[in-house]
Structure 1
Amino acid sequence: MADPTEPDNAREPARRPEATTPVRSGDVGPSGGKKEPGVLGQLFAPVAGFGVTFATMFRKVPTQEYPEVKRPTATRYHGRHQLNRHPDGLEKCVGCELCAWACPADAIYVEGADNTDEARFSPGERYGRVYQINYLRCIFCGLCIEACPTRALTMTNEYELADSERAPLIYEKHQLLAPLRPDMLTPPFPMVEGMEERDYYQGKVTGASQDQREYVEAREADQADKVDAAAAEAEATS
């Protein structure tokens, strides 16, 4: 309990001294006041704030002139997706849709279809008939790569994915498929004779067989004949 005989000012908390700006010895004039800048100081005062700018104007620029100079990406950079192929050209995607289920941004759309003897696009029973990736939604997390059971989907180092419209940023299957190497064939065509689906994923198929090449050549020749026949019929009717 406070002592009633104690004066009021004795019970007040001590006040902190007000902060004062330290005065340098060079800023004090002969009379003790603030020193006025000299003639040179007054002359360069308007541009003194640009000292850092002027100092960096003649330094080497650390940035690169993109897109004229493109910096290489890391080996495991998460860029545009790619649908891979087997050594003979058949697609690895089996249309299971696990990548679409794993995508947290709902950026992947897949429709599977059944392979037939007349039209086989992948080993096994099914293939991805429709495959779309919306790069306006994709966050490049790589969860779709981890979910793929056949290693059909991987990510490349391509990062230039920009456009002024929405439609070109929704990539279709033909844009995502890996390009055919010289020793690959264009599907559809049968599997290598005597091989099963598991043989493909075990690496036993190293390239297209002669039977597959003959099948593709016959198919392309038949398609060419149909085109010629249609053109001749159109010319005759005209």
Structure 2
Amino acid sequence: MAVVKLKRPDLAAGEKLYLGAIFKGFLITMKHAFDSLRGKTRGSDELKSSGLGATMQYPEQKWDDQLPEYYRGAPALVTDEQDRERCVSCQLCEFICPPKAIKITPGEIPSDDPWAKVEKRPKEFEIDMIRCIYCGMCEEVCPEQAIYLRKDYAITGLSREQMVHDKERLYEIGGKRVGLVNKWNELK
């Protein structure tokens, strides 16, 4: 395969100094500044801005009502209507997680439990929210619909340890899901 060398076009004296581009950028910035002072900022109505500019005032105003239907937020575990764990510790979500943010330790269900036919449940289930990239693969691969991505984007913590959500925290923020759960199906 032949190598083709391209010669860059020679720049004029004004282009070499790039003062024209700086001046043009300054004019655009000033136009936006004067428009915001006159209350004619484009997009301020949709963002419910404070009036000056199109900046949303974050802690007071949030995107919750403007999130698209397909938005994927932070993952959480859910229980069924009777507060039973949906997770069967199959570890598919752990294996498919690209950043390896999920860690599961399977545990056995005692034989005297009425749901002992299920084989196992998670003894420990942790999701590192710092590592999580909110890709949704864990939700897609879960055969028991035990993990869901909720529409939550404001996850905060004061330390790295607080950003690792354990099983209790994941169930607390996940809540209940209504519907058929394969794990508790009598025909299974």
TM-score by length of 1: 0.52
Which residue number corresponds to residue 110 of structure 1?
Answer: 104
Alignment check: 8 A CA contact 1:132 1:171 kept: yes
In the TM superposition, what whole-angstrom CA distance separates every residue of 1:135-160 from its partner, at most 9, and x where no partner exists? 11111111111111111111101111
Gaps of 5+ in 1: 1-18, 22-47, 182-195, 202-238
Q: Please tell me whether residue 198 in structure 1 is matched to residue 185 in structure 2.
A: yes
The 1:121–1:70 alpha-carbon spacing in structure 2 relative to 1, beyond 3 Å, is: farther
Alignment check: 8 A CA contact 2:110 2:116 kept: no
The 1:121–1:174 alpha-carbon spacing in structure 2 relative to 1, beyond 3 Å, is: farther
Gaps of 5+ in 2: 1-11, 15-25, 40-50, 178-182
**Post-superposition shift, 1:197?**
3.5
Other structure's SS at 2:185 match: helix
Query: Partner amino acid for 1:130?
Result: E
Q: Aligned residue pairs: how many?
A: 145
Query: Partner amino acid for 1:152?
Result: A
Which residue number corresponds to residue 98 of structure 1?
Answer: 92
Runs of 4+ in 1 over 3 A off after TM superposition: 48-51, 117-123, 178-181
Which residue number corresponds to residue 43 of structure 2?
Answer: none
Other structure's SS at 2:186 match: helix
Alignment check: 8 A CA contact 2:74 2:152 kept: yes
Alignment check: 8 A CA contact 1:85 1:91 kept: yes
2:54 and 2:122 map into 1 onto residues whose CA distance is: 46
Which residue number corresponds to residue 89 of structure 1?
Answer: 83
Alignment check: 8 A CA contact 1:95 1:128 kept: yes
Which residue number corresponds to residue 36 of structure 2?
Answer: 56
Other structure's SS at 1:144 match: helix
Q: Which has the larger radius of gyration?
A: 1
Other structure's SS at 2:168 match: helix
Alignment check: 8 A CA contact 1:131 1:173 kept: yes
Query: Partner amino acid for 1:151?
Result: Q
Name which of 142, 159, 162 aligns with 1:165. 159
1:151 and 1:130 map into 2 onto residues whose CA distance is: 18
1:114 and 1:64 map into 2 onto residues whose CA distance is: 49
2:69 and 2:75 map into 1 onto residues whose CA distance is: 14
2:140 and 2:148 map into 1 onto residues whose CA distance is: 9
1:122 and 1:57 map into 2 onto residues whose CA distance is: 68
The 1:94–1:80 alpha-carbon spacing in structure 2 relative to 1, beyond 3 Å, is: same
Other structure's SS at 1:64 match: coil
Which residue number corresponds to residue 129 of structure 1?
Answer: 123
Percent identity, aligned pairs only, is 26
1:74 and 1:154 map into 2 onto residues whose CA distance is: 16
Alignment check: 8 A CA contact 1:82 1:155 kept: yes
Alignment check: 8 A CA contact 2:81 2:176 kept: no
Which residue number corresponds to residue 59 of structure 2?
Answer: 67
Name which of 132, 138, 145 aligns with 1:144. 138
The 1:146–1:20 alpha-carbon spacing in structure 2 relative to 1, beyond 3 Å, is: closer
Which residue number corresponds to residue 175 of structure 2?
Answer: 179
Higher RCO (C-alpha under 8 Å, 6+ residues apart): 2
TM-score by length of 2: 0.65
The 1:102–1:140 alpha-carbon spacing in structure 2 relative to 1, beyond 3 Å, is: same
2:77 and 2:187 map into 1 onto residues whose CA distance is: 16
Query: Partner amino acid for 1:92?
Result: R
RMSD: 3.2
